[in-house]
Structure 1
Amino acid sequence: MIGKGHSISRTKASIAYGWNQEKEAEVVLKEYLAGDTPQDIAEEFKIIQSQNQRCTNNTLSFVVSPTIADGKNMSRKELGEIAQKFLQEMKLTNHQAIGFVHRDKEHVHIHIYVNRISLTGETYKDNFIGKRSQVAADNVAKELGLTRVREVQQEKLQELSGIRQEMKRINDKVLGSRPKSLDDYIRLMKDHKVKVIPTINKSNQLQGFRLEYKGANLKASEVHRDMSGNKLIAEIAQNRSFTRLKEAPKSILILDKTVGLSANLTTKIAKELIKGILKRALDTGIGMGY
């Protein structure tokens, strides 16, 4: 089961989308609400939200999706139980909430809209809400005996074992030619029919890479843990003589565009650089008392 979440400001429009009858919408959750239209619900939200005028993104929007196999035969009651337990995991039981199930597609999913302002006026903290939604959904799946994301991922990786091994061999061959930049690496991988796709967030920071090969699309770390972004960047950086911790790059040129590196990624790269320095020292005996 997958959970997604973020804060929004367009409460009425979002609830109207959830209540869309063209999507065969059914109400499966209703907490501290009496209205029967998107307009009514939005007005009830607004009454509570008036306790905190400074909060603009004052509604929380979640999508909780069981796997296709789990969701296709679920009753309205069972889907409502998922929504209720998800709210409990997110510690949102003291908030107005409404949830709808959409069955218009093969993948049955639940839209949940929650007033970010509690019944007693506190504003719910939305930091890392996307990640917390994933964890909450996973906990609910575990409690109810439903398929968990990690189980689906493991099955997928197992099925792609042969392709992953091919991609790893190509990666090792390309790195063996000592590319001097990420663009060199991307070009060389493309020559071997592997497409490298940088993952760049809205803050123009590089988060990692995905690889496409023979119809498979995987995170680089899913292909092999030695292919994670920090290890790849560190190895290429060493080819350009970035060998000291203070020289770990804070930004990098990729596809003719300069992108930043998050503090977390920079720290990981620095650690990989140190490992590389120690390995070379051990291999050559430099500074080891020989």
Structure 2
Amino acid sequence: MIGKGKSISHTRASMGYGWNQEKNAEVVFRQHLVGKNPKEVTEEFQRIQEMNHVCERNTLSFVLSPTIDDGQRLKKKELERMTRAFMKRMNLGERQAIAFVHRDKEHTHIHLYVNRIDFKGVAYNDSFIGKRSQKAAEKVAETMEITTVRQVQMEREFNTQELRNEIKRRHELTLHYQKPENYQQYMEGMKANGVEVKPSINRQGQLQGFRFEFQGQSFKGSEINRNMSMANIGRELTRYNAPQKIVSPKNTIKLLDKVVPVPEKLLASLVKKAIRKSIDIGLGI
């Protein structure tokens, strides 16, 4: 089960999404509330929130998402118990709260809204709320004997280990036998070996890494092996080429007929590797 949490200020709009009948929303948990629609519940929240004029993001919004299999078998009473247990783990205590389950998609999930302001006008401490939400969800999942995020990750690791090993093997074959001169040739060599390498471009338009697609699965280089990061691939390319052949003096490389900027630290890393190699050759190492 995955747990996510944050503080919000747009209570009515967010609660309206949670209570969306088009998503087959059903109330699975309610505490210290009598409202029959998002408007009425929001007004109840606001009456308590008026006791604290300092806190602006005065509603806590959580999403609890069991795995697909768990979500399909969990009934309303179990989802209510899950929500109560999560509230307790988060030390939310006696404050207004309401939760809805969405079953409109294959992946059942709960939207939980909690008044951040308690009945004494004190705001709940939301420091690291995202991380705390995930830990609380993990503990609740263990108690209820449903699948945790860690178990899902371990299962994925086990199921994809052979694929990742095969991608790494083909990566090594491409480097050692085809001896590509630059990233473009490396991508073409990997494609010839059955692995599609796709560049990842960040918001600044710079190349930040690669994804490797093989037999319907997609992995970041770091998910396969630490030696398959963009920088480490570049350092391997300097075994056969000067850094200027890999990255231009203008800190760009050509990929898929496009000129793409790269982070300055990548060029610095490649130059450092080339200098070290020259020194080793000079010393006869």
The TM-score with structure 1 as length reference comes to: 0.70
How far off is 1:183 after superposition?
6.0
Paired residue type of 1:217: S
Per-residue CA distance 1:57-97 (angstroms, 9 max, x = gap): 44332221111222212121111111122223333335432
Deviations 1:192-213 (A, max 9, x none): 4434456677798988654321
Matched, 1:9 2:9: yes
- Aligned counterparts of 2:10 and 2:167: Cα–Cα separation in 1: 44
Q: How many Å apart are 1:153 and its aligned residue?
A: 2.4
1:48 and 2:51 are equivalent in the alignment: no
| Aligned equivalents of 1:87, 1:205: Cα separation in 2 | 42
Is 1:212 aligned with 2:213? yes
- The Cα shift of 1:260 comes to 6.3
Cross-structure match for 1:194: 195
2:82 counterpart of 1:82:
yes
Change (3 A) 1:260 1:90: farther
In the alignment, the residues of structure 1 paired with residue 188 and residue 11 of structure 2 have an alpha-carbon distance, to the nearest angstrom, of: 45
Corresponding residue of 1:143 = 143
Structure 1 regions of 5+ residues with no counterpart?
A: 242-250
Report the counterpart of residue 67 of structure 1 in structure 2.
Answer: 67
* Counterpart Cα distance in 2 of 1:205 and 1:92: 43
User: 2 CA distance for matches of 1:252 and 1:52?
Assistant: 52
1:221-275, Cα deviation, whole Å (9 max, x unpaired): 433455456755776689877xxxxxxxxx99797454769xxxx8xx9xx99xx
Equivalent residues in 2 for 1:10-25 (5 A)?
Answer: 10-25=10-25
CA distance in 2, matches of 1:234, 1:210: 18
CA contact (8 A) 2:58 2:117 kept: yes
SS at match of 1:92: coil
In 2, are the aligned partners of 1:9 and 1:58 still within 8 Å (CA)? yes
The letter for the 2-side match of 1:139 is K
Percent of aligned pairs with the same residue? 44
In 1, Cα distance between the equivalents of 2:104 and 2:34?
26
State the one-letter code of the partner of 2:112: I
Q: Which moved more, 1:34-43 or 1:164-173?
A: 164-173
Distance 1:99 1:42 in 2: 13
Matches within 5 A, 1:46-195: 46-50=46-50, 51-53=52-54, 55=56, 57-93=57-93, 95-119=95-119, 120-127=121-128, 129-176=129-176, 185-186=186-187, 188-195=189-196
Instruction: Kindly state the Cα deviation for residue 216 of structure 1 after the two structures are TM-superposed.
Output: 0.9
Structure 1 residue 146 displacement after superposition: 0.9
Please state whether the residue corresponding to 1:160 is helix, strand or coil: helix
Q: Which moved more, 1:153-162 or 1:199-208?
A: 199-208
Cα 1:221/1:109, change in 2 over 3 Å: same
- What is the count of residue pairs matched by the alignment? 271
C-alpha distance in 2 between matches for 1:205 and 1:54: 39
Structure 2 runs not aligned, ≥5 long: 244-250
SS at match of 2:219: strand
Higher mean C-alpha displacement, 36-45 vs 222-231: 222-231
Shift of 1:215: 0.6
Return closer, same or farther for 1:234/1:112 CA change in 2, 3 Å cut-off.
Answer: farther
Give the Cα separation in 1 of the matches to 2:117 and 2:259.
44
